[in-house]
């Protein structure tokens, strides 16, 4: 079945045109995924609070919101047969410093800065992918054969 996922290229990488191009080239080089839609956004504090509601109260919550509100960023709808897993494998572990040791060829290992400023996001399940895609692409028409 077809899968879709939401990918984010967060404000730090979006602000660096050289890194942004390198990251997009890495995505385009993946034969099992395709960028189906892309948009550039600048969140309001309310949008950040809504998207990260599950992290409210955690020690990194304010840092995370400040980071995501620091500038514009890019949202992608990615498509592929196992794109949720494949995209998370490509971006690598949440913590870029650990990723550099364990999975050095991942995007967070290469471009991520810190635990919070980890440059990329990927949905973790088909249900969350739908939910997150709707937030960034309210007019998106989900295909019928979607997992
Ligand atoms: P992401 O998985 O896209 O969404 C939640 C974000 O919270 C995560 O990326 C990081 O940016 C941030 N985050 C998660 N865990 C930590 C942590 N332990 N310390 C700091 N930031 C974190």
Answer yes or no: is pLDDT of 147 > 90. Answer: no
pLDDT average, residue stretch 89-117: 97
What sign results for the dihedral spanned by CA atoms 98, 102, 105, 107?
Answer: negative
15-73: pLDDT as tens digits? 999 999 999 999 999 999 999 999 999 999 999 999 999 999 999 999 999 999 999 99
Rg, C-alpha atoms of the chain = 15
- Is ipTM beyond 0.85? yes
- CATH number of the domain within which 23 lies: 3.30.70.141
Can you give the residue range of the structural domain that contains 17? 3-136
Q: Is 144 inside any structural domain?
A: no
CB under 6 Å to ligand 1: residues? Answer: 55, 60, 64, 94, 115-116, 118, 121
pTM over 0.80, yes/no: yes
Å from CA of 94 to ligand 1 middle = 6
Q: Is 60 inside any structural domain?
A: yes
Told to judge if 32 belongs to the known catalytic residues of this protein, a careful annotator would answer no
Distance CA 22, CA 64 (A): 24
């Amino acid at each position: 079945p077809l899968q879709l996922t939401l990918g984010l290229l967060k404000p730090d990488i979006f602000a660096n045109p050289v890194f942004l191009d390198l990251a997009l080239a890495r995505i385009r080089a993946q034969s099992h995924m395709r960028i189906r839609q892309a948009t550039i956004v600048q969140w309001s504090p309310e949008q950040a609070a809504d998207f990260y509601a599950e992290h409210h109260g955690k020690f990194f919550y304010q840092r995370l919101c400040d980071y995501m509100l620091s500038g514009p960023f890019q949202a992608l709808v990615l498509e592929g047969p196992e794109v949720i897993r494949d995209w998370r494998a490509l971006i690598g572990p949440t913590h870029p410093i650990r990723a550099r040791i364990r999975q050095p060829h991942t995007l967070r290992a290469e471009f991520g800065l810190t635990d919070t400023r980890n440059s990329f996001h990927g949905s973790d399940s088909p249900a969350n992918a739908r939910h997150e895609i709707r937030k960034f692409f309210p007019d998106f028409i989900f295909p019928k054969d979607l997992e």
